[in-house]
Amino acid sequence: MSVTSPRTIFNSQDMKRRLHEILHENLHDKQYDSNQCSSLSKDLANRIKDALKTFGYERYKFVVQVLICQEYNENIQMNCRAYWDSETDRLAQTIYMNQFLICIATAFAVYYY
Amino acid sequence: MDDTHDTSFIVDEVSNITKEAIEATIGSQSYQQAKINTWTSNIVEAILNSLTKLNKPFKYIVSCVIMQKNGAGLHTASSCFWDNTTDGSCTVRWENKTMYAIVSVFGLSI
């Protein structure tokens, strides 16, 4: 089995900036509405995945997770862990808040040898 | 002889591992602000430990969200760019009287 190494390693900072832009464009004027947010979260996840593909990283697989929750004084805790190769694999995460909702978008980039 | 059993992501197997980890950590508990950080860490670590013991050629990502039940709404979605024949994911939703837990596991073949 031949193992390849990435020519360019996924850049978390660039990705985080792009995630924040996408969330701001789509959520700055939105309120929390149960029906709308169901399709909105799927739509955002797809947009972010498409944006990741345009960056042109070779041999990277992507997983994008979007969480939208209503701003209602609730307590919420999110934790994630990965079992991967820390030299090639990366994570980018951003949190967007307006007065009605909170959105957490996480992108994982995993290198395929 | 089933070759694919050792090298594919089996959703049922992972789902059982996830449910056991949630039950063991918060199965009998009520929401407590001070413990929630430990709970999410424990759930995620227990799942990762069980997954690595399966000895499959996979990288794993596990994510756990615990939310207090107070009437707020929550939506989660994921989108993946991977190989459909070998990679997979499993999401388990769990609740009791005081909290919701949503755990997602993604497995990517190497």
Structural domains for chain A: 12-76+85-111 (3.30.1140.40)
The average pLDDT across A6-12 equals: 84
Chains A–B, number of C-beta pairs less than 8 Å apart? 144
Q: List, for chain B, all residue ranges whose pLDDT scores fall below the cut of 70.
A: 1-5
Give residue-wise pLDDT tens across range A43-69: 999 999 999 999 888 899 999 999 999
* CB A53 within 8 Å of CB B79: no
* CB A16 within 8 Å of CB A93: yes
CB A80 to CB B63 under 8 A?
A: yes
Structural domains for chain B: 11-109 (3.30.1140.40)
pLDDT, position B46: 94
Report the C-alpha gap between B15 and B47 in whole angstroms: 10
pLDDT, position A74: 79
Give residue-wise pLDDT tens across range A23-40: 999 998 888 888 889 999
Q: Which of B48, B61, B70 sits opposite A74 (nearest CB)?
A: B70
Report the C-alpha gap between B76 and B29 in whole angstroms: 24
pLDDT, position A76: 85
| DSSP tag of A59 | T
pLDDT, position A2: 66
Helices A34-54 and A12-27 sit at what angle, rounded to 10 degrees? 150
Residue from B40, B44, B59 whose CB has the most chain A CBs within 10 Å, to mutate:
B59
As a whole number, the mean pLDDT across chain A is 90
Residue with tokens 């049922």: B12
pTM: 0.90
One-letter amino acid at B80 equals: C
Q: Which of A45, A63, A78 sits opposite B106 (nearest CB)?
A: A63
